[in-house]
């Protein structure tokens, strides 16, 4: 099967490219390298790499020719970035998604799998977060991801294009850049503590997250691409269904490292949510998803990758993904 991964040189995208190639798919990658890196794809036999943006429809038309399934991961991530640059984030995340959907429709693509975010739920106190909750985005980034979901649903309703939206919850793992200004918490904590430095906690550390190892997110993408028509037009959570506070995360990292490093604290960021926990029943029902790698095993594999600087294949053992659902 010929597939396209937008944002395929990024963190989740490059891990997905590896998984698709392992399963015998032909894979194209489209990435403008604004947040991704060619090093993430080093040595991989991708059918074609296109240096370009999803905001460029001509570039998309060329990349999408003959493609059956698109995994649309290209985006400008980070709540903090969106607060600083709402126009740029909206252009990339909303206009870019509409471009992907429109050109996919015109190219005869069968399905688009869209990477959404748990941030669409906002800071509603209800736990776990179920897809029936009313979205309440608290940042331009969250609003852009929710808008992308709505466009996916609309396109699936009025055109012969199937779409599935996956709401990722705090994905972490190998190839996640800890040096970025907008780096996620686990790569920042892990690399700091590996170097013997105190991790910086924004807020009091009692906020909790449903951290999701990247192999689980990749599994959800592939299952979403192969699932039956009942999944089309739907949005669903992709997570582990368990949560851990940032202070407990540091405790766990100390245990794995054999250290006793205490955190530093700074004020919480604008737009961040307090608690996050996913219900994953809908994804189990519609695409056959269930997490294969629990948080603590994922942390172990992630620490090993950062400690070794490995660019190789550092998978943990998971069950095989079926060809179809």
Over 90: is that where the pLDDT of 318 sits?
no
Phi, psi of 314 (to 5 degrees): -110, 40
pLDDT digits (tens, 9 = 90+) for 215-271: 999 999 999 999 999 999 999 999 999 999 999 999 999 999 999 999 999 999 887
Q: Cα torsion at 86, 70, 37, 51 (round to 10°)?
A: -90
Dist CA 64 CA 62 (whole Å): 6
Average pLDDT value over all residues in the chain: 93
pLDDT over 70 (residue 64): yes
Nearest to 301 by CA among 164, 154, 173: 173
Residue 309: per-residue pLDDT: 60
Going by pLDDT thresholds of 50, 70 and 90, the confidence category of residue 169 is: very high
Residue with the bigger pLDDT between 269 and 172: it is 172
pLDDT at 92 over 60: yes
**Domain spans in the chain, listed from the N-terminal domain onward:** 2-308
Report the half-sphere exposure of 324 (CA within 13 A, side-chain side).
Answer: 3
Answering whether pTM is above 0.85, one says: yes
**What DSSP character marks residue 196?**
T
- Smallest Cα–Cα separation from 187: which of 81, 301, 270, 303? 303
Q: SS3 sequence, 244-301?
A: EEHHHHHHHHHHHHCCCCCCEEECCCCCCCCECCECCHHHHHHHCCCCCCCHHHHHHH
Q: Which residues are catalytic?
A: 141
Whether residue 113 is predicted with pLDDT greater than 60 in this model: the reply is yes
Q: pLDDT per residue over 272-295, tens digit each?
A: 789 999 999 999 999 999 999 999
Topology of the domain covering 2-308: Rossmann fold (3.40.50)
Question: Is the previous residue joined to 128 through a cis bond, with omega within 30 degrees of 0?
Answer: yes
pLDDT at 148: 98
| pLDDT (tens digit per residue) in 185-213 | 999 999 999 999 999 999 999 999 999 99
């Amino acid at each position: 099967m010929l597939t396209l991964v937008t944002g395929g040189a990024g963190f989740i995208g490059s891990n997905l490219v590896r998984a698709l190639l392992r399963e015998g798919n032909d894979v194209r990658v489209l990435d403008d390298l604004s947040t991704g890196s060619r090093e993430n794809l080093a040595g991989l036999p991708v059918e074609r790499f296109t240096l370009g943006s999803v905001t460029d429809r001509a570039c998309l038309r060329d990349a999408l020719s003959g493609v059956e399934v698109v995994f649309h991961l290209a985006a400008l991530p980070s709540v903090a970035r969106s607060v600083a640059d709402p126009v740029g984030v909206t252009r990339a995340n909303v206009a870019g998604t509409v471009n992907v959907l429109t050109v996919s429709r015109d190219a005869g693509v069968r399905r688009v799998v869209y990477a959404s975010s748990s941030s669409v739920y906002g800071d509603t106190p209800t736990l776990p977060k179920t897809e029936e909750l009313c979205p309440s985005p608290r940042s331009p980034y969250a609003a852009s991801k929710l808008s992308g979901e709505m466009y996916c649903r609309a396109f699936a309703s009025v055109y012969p294009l199937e779409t599935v939206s996956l709401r990722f919850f705090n994905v972490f793992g190998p190839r996640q850049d800890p040096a970025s200004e907008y780096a996620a918490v686990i790569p920042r904590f892990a690399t700091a503590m590996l170097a013997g430095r105190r991790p910086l906690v924004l807020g009091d550390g009692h906020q909790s997250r449903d951290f999701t190892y990247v192999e689980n997110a990749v599994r959800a993408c592939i299952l979403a691409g192969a699932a039956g028509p009942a999944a089309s037009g739907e949005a669903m959570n992709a997570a582990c269904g368990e949560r851990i506070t940032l202070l407990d995360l540091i405790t766990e990292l100390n245990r794995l490292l054999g250290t006793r490093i205490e955190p530093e604290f700074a004020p919480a960021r604008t737009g961040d949510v307090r608690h996050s926990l996913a219900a994953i029943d809908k994804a189990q029902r519609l695409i056959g998803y269930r997490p294969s790698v629990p948080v603590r095993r994922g942390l172990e594999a992630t620490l090993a990758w950062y400690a070794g600087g490995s660019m190789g294949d550092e998978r943990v053992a998971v069950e095989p993904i079926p060809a179809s659902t």
